[in-house]
Amino acid sequence: MIEVTEDDFNVGKILNDAKHPDNGALVTFLGIVRDDGISGMEIESYTDLAVQELNTIEKEALERFNIRSLDVIHRTGTLSVGDNILLIVCGAPHRKDAFAACEYMIDELKKRVQVWKKELHKDGANGKWVGEET
């Protein structure tokens, strides 16, 4: 399952759905809005393309690693400190593949998927877009 959505997700349910008789290991990455002196983040996506790119990366991971499932949900919209941003769940017979594929997915996502984050400041001032030099 690949989703780019404003909605929050239920990690317990998604993990349960990822259970498969072949899967002995589920490795999960949960990205959360961290308190860097900000109140939250505004997350924007080019959704059609982001979903397409996530599917491409998933396909690469399924070819490279011995995994059975890879689920990704990336949220968009206005999020507060502590809110879920991103969930990746990778299921595999063995743990090494699950860890490697989960890390591959998040590393490539950060480089390739059409999503941008803007910091929202506590004083209401206009924050900066993450990754911008200025």
Partner 1 sequence: MIIRVKAFARFGEVLGKELALELDHGSDIDGLLALLCASQDAYDLIFDESGTIRDYVTILKGGRHIQSLDGVRTVLKDGDEVAIFPPVAGG
Query: Can you tell me which of 26, 61, 79, 115 binds its own copies, judged by CB under 8 A?
Result: 26
Query: Where are the extended beta strands (E) located within the chain?
Result: 2-5, 25-32, 38-45, 69-75, 77-80, 84-92, 115-121
Stretch that binds its own copies, among 6-14, 56-64, 117-125, 126-134 (CB under 8 A): 6-14
Stretch that binds partner 1, among 10-18, 32-40, 96-104, 123-131 (CB under 8 A): 123-131
* C-alpha dihedral (57, 113, 79, 118), degrees to nearest 10: 160
* 34 part of the interface to its own copies, by CB under 8 A: yes
* 62 part of the interface to its own copies, by CB under 8 A: no
- Cβ distance to its own copies smaller for residue 27 or 51: 27
Handedness of CA 50, 34, 88, 1 (dihedral sign): negative
* C-alpha dihedral (94, 106, 85, 50), degrees to nearest 10: -120
- Cβ distance to its own copies smaller for residue 10 or 78: 10
What minimum distance in Å lies between the beta carbon of 22 and its own copies?
7
- The encoded tokens of residue 95 equal 């743990």
What minimum distance in Å lies between the beta carbon of 89 and its own copies?
9
